[in-house]
């Protein structure tokens, strides 16, 4: 298997509770060619100091602009041939990065590959109403750099469902998006997640779909 450089981008805002665990899970990956970029999105807690304790993590600081803008800042600063993300409250499982690299190496027509996640609830947190017993959706894209040339980065207007909207643009551009059917990320629910409130999440998803439908109609490929 070839070993292209992978840039892992971690957007974080006031993530002092969990960011160290997220970083350590990334640095524990078995893939050696890894660049870690943490984007501190205007945190007012101890996030910056915690990140500074990891010499392998490159930290970029910016005024608070939301998760999409933070991801875009990380993308702009990255140098990897392959790009992926980790929310500051999530955890990579062993082999996450190498599995996606292997898939993209073996499937040259695939522009983006997702993995499955397992959702777990932080002790003391009430499970959100939308959470199912076997919540194992697909998330955490790894993309080839050429995806940015085709569809651009994240839309800064989106503070929830921003990755969903990004994937819609990839598919609209004719890019192949695949899924590795294996749980390789643990998604933490702790009550202050941006997606904890289902109503906001639904509004974001509907907005993404409406925008995609309108764009498709203008192009004549949707009745």
Please name each of the domains of the chain with its CATH number: 6-219 (3.90.550.10)
Distance CA 9, CA 11 (A): 6
**Average pLDDT value over all residues in the chain:** 85
Q: What DSSP line would sit under 55-96, residue for residue?
A: TTEEEEEE----HHHHHHHHHHH---SEEEE--TT-EEPTTH
For the record, the structure tokens of 97 come out as 């990065």
Give the C-alpha distances (Å, rounded to integers) separating 59 from 77, 117, 179: 10, 26, 30
Kindly report, residue by residue over 150-162, the tens digit of the pLDDT: 999 999 987 777 8
Least confident of 18-27, 108-117, 118-127, 178-187: 118-127
Q: In what order do the strands lie in the sheet with 91-92?
A: 57-62, 34-41, 6-12, 82-85, 138-144, 110-121, 176-189, 91-92
The pTM of this model reads 0.83
């Amino acid at each position: 298997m070839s070993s292209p450089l992978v840039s892992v981008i971690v957007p974080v805002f006031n993530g002092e509770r969990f960011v160290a665990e997220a970083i350590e899970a990334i640095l524990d990956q078995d893939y050696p060619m890894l660049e870690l970029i943490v984007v501190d999105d205007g945190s007012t807690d101890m996030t910056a100091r915690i990140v500074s304790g990891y010499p392998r993590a490159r930290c970029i600081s910016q005024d608070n602009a939301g998760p999409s803008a933070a991801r875009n800042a990380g993308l702009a600063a990255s140098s990897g041939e392959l790009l992926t993300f980790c929310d500051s409250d999530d955890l990579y499982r062993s082999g996450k990065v190498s599995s996606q690299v292997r898939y993209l190496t073996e499937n040259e027509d695939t522009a983006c590959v997702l993995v499955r996640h397992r959702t777990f609830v932080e002790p003391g947190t009430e499970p959100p109403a939308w959470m199912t017993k076997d919540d194992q959706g697909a998330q955490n894209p790894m993309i080839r750099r050429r995806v940015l040339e085709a569809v651009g980065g994240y839309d800064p207007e989106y503070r929830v469902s921003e990755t969903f909207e990004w994937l819609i643009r990839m598919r609209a551009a004719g890019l192949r998006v695949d899924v590795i059917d294996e749980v390789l990320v643990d998604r933490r629910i702790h009550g202050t997640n941006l997606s904890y409130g289902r109503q906001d999440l639904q509004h974001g998803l509907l907005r993404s779909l409406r925008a995609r439908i309108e764009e498709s109609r203008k192009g004549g490929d949707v009745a």
